[in-house]
Amino acid sequence: MSTSTKQLADLSATTLLRFATAGSVDDGKSTLVGRLLHDSKSVLTDQLEAVEAASLKRGQEAPDLALLTDGLRAEREQGITIDVAYRYFATARRRFILADTPGHVQYTRNMVTGASTADLAVVLVDARNGVIEQTRRHAAVAALLRVPHVVLAVNKMDLVAYEEKVFAAIAEEFTAYASELGVPEITAIPISALAGDNVVEPSANMDWYGGPTVLEHLETVPVSHDLTSCHARLPVQYVIRPQTAELPDYRGYAGQIAAGTFRVGEPVTVLPSGRTSTIAGIDLLGESVDVAWTPQSVTLLLNDDIDISRGDLIVPSGDAPPTTQDVEATVCHVADQPLTVGQRVLLKHTTRTVKAIVKEIPSRLTLDDLSQHPEPGQLVANDIGQVLVRTAEPLALDSYAHSRRTGSFLLIDPADGTTLAAGMAGESFATHKTLTAVADEEGWDF
């Protein structure tokens, strides 16, 4: 095998990892992202030249790597990151999609956006400051969104003399806090993004650390979950009916498998109608297969001609979620206009959009200390709270704890189409605590 052919084989063998970064302003997030991109050779000459030229024009001597990631005019002018941006880089082992999310307190919604599709979140901490409020907020969002893997990157180890005990204390405090919130896997790594310690190359300054570098961990962390413990779900997106002379009777139910596996011959139930059939065939984009699994986009063929349309959910018979018109959920409010009790909204769940009304907002969560504020009346931008929503039609809704894909939904303003809130059905750590009335800094002063 020639070198180039071998490289091609390596490139095609890779899997994809989606991850998000979170960190406060000045924790060195841009530097870490810059170093990951730079050291994995994902920054190309013309991009670096553009950054160097722009930095020079601003009177900066060294190239400002933040200019590499701040894509909007307003971001460059203000020197802050406003919005989530997606970055792409690759190593021989894996390809990465990085959701680069701003760290400002007021941008909780951006971290929620980034975390919603992430398999892993990197939470950055400044070794000199340790676990601060913002760190707890990031851990809470990662836990709430059920990001499967969390990396605690203790940065700026060079400024604390690379001392093991500094790292150990922070790692212990964070792990205890995040575990209590239900984060399933936490990996703590001492780094210096600026000096390059343990980001891509192992550090010569911290021989007491025996774990992986950030990149090594990103390359080897498992990407998919235990498929057999997942309830199989196929939201029907589109019914494929060629109605041609050769295929007059073909009816295929197209969709992306949201969870689990489907097999030919398996008995299935269609929700919310409850009609049943068996799988006659599975078409995997032109190839006939016996078994298919998440997140493959497929077309299912059934043995019976039953009424199925977009918005229906196909599930294995005997493993159906309950259908309900009363949705209890945790939501993160992502719009500038508030969400209020009594408000009429649209609820988009998988491929189904239904009318709904906000019946109750039992509590609002303060991420800093996880305290609950009862009956806030409304949620505003970046608030996280409990809601009870009544829908006009029954929904086959899983708990978000069981399925990120079929337990999540959007609340949409029917008037202008604005996405109001990101919803997660069922219980979360935010519902476990008993409600305690805490003085609200925004004026509960009675």
Partner 1 sequence: MTSAATVTEGVDSPYALSHLDALESEAVHIFREVAGEFERPVILFSGGKDSIVMLHLALKAFAPAAVPFSLLHVDTGHNFPEVLAYRDRVVAEHGLRLHVASVQEYIDAGKLRERPDGVRNPLQTLPLTEAIQQHRFDAVFGGGRRDEEKARAKERVFSLRDEFSQWDPRRQRPELWQLYNGRHAPGEHVRVFPLSNWTELDVWQYIAREDIDLPGIYFAHEREVFKRSGMWLTAGEWGGPKGSESVETRLVRYRTVGDMSCTGAVDSDATTLDAVITEIAASRLTERGATRADDKMSEAAMEDRKREGYF
Residues within window 252-291 making contact with partner 1, judged by CB under 8 A: 254-256, 261, 283, 285-286, 291
Residues 49-88 that bind partner 1 (CB under 8 A): 50, 54, 68-74, 76, 82-88
For residues 386 and 233, give the distance between their C-alpha atoms in angstroms, rounded to a whole number.
26
- CB environment 85-105: b (16+ within 10 A), e (fewer): bebebebeebebbbbbbbbbe
403 binds partner 1 (CB under 8 A): no
For residues 131 and 27, give the distance between their C-alpha atoms in angstroms, rounded to a whole number.
12
392 binds partner 1 (CB under 8 A): no
Q: Which is nearer to partner 1, 98 or 152 (CB)?
A: 98
Stretch that binds partner 1, among 12-20, 120-128, 192-200, 385-393 (CB under 8 A): 12-20
329 closest CA partner among 233, 219, 427, 235:
427
The number of residues making up the chain comes to: 446
431 binds partner 1 (CB under 8 A): no
The CB-of-128 to partner 1 minimum distance in angstroms stands at: 31
Stretch that binds partner 1, among 26-34, 201-209, 319-327, 413-421 (CB under 8 A): 413-421
- CB environment 258-297: b (16+ within 10 A), e (fewer): bbbbbebebebbbbbeeeebebeebbeeeeeeeebbbebe
Q: Which is nearer to partner 1, 80 or 169 (CB)?
A: 80
Residues 20-39 that bind partner 1 (CB under 8 A): none
Helices (H), 14-162: 29-39, 45-57, 66-69, 73-78, 108-116, 133-144
Q: Which is nearer to partner 1, 113 or 187 (CB)?
A: 113
Residues 154, 125: contact at Cβ < 8 Å?
yes
Q: Contact letters (x/-) for partner 1, 307-346, by CB under 8 A?
A: ---x-----------------------x-----------x
Helices (H), 65-163: 66-69, 73-78, 108-116, 133-144
Sequence-separated (6 or more) residues with CB below 8 Å from residue 93: 14, 219, 220
Stretch that binds partner 1, among 106-114, 165-173, 198-206, 207-215 (CB under 8 A): 106-114
Q: Which is nearer to partner 1, 2 or 434 (CB)?
A: 2
105 binds partner 1 (CB under 8 A): no
The CB-of-293 to partner 1 minimum distance in angstroms stands at: 6
Residues 192-221 that bind partner 1 (CB under 8 A): 219-220
Q: Which is nearer to partner 1, 170 or 232 (CB)?
A: 232
Q: Which residue has the tokens 């998000």?
A: 20
Q: Please measure the distance between the N-terminal and C-terminal CA atoms of the chain and give it in whole angstroms.
A: 78
Can you tell me whether residue 252 is helix, strand or coil? strand
Q: Which is nearer to partner 1, 73 or 165 (CB)?
A: 73
Q: Which of 55, 237, 273, 371 binds partner 1 (CB under 8 A)?
A: 237
How many separate helices (H) and strands (E) can be counted in the chain? 10, 25
For residues 36 and 28, give the distance between their C-alpha atoms in angstroms, rounded to a whole number.
12
H-helix or E-strand spanning residue 7:
helix 3-12
Q: Which of 228, 305, 441, 446 binds partner 1 (CB under 8 A)?
A: 228
Q: Which is nearer to partner 1, 50 or 380 (CB)?
A: 50
The CB-of-274 to partner 1 minimum distance in angstroms stands at: 22
The CB-of-13 to partner 1 minimum distance in angstroms stands at: 7
Q: Which is nearer to partner 1, 167 or 253 (CB)?
A: 253
Residues 136-195 that bind partner 1 (CB under 8 A): none
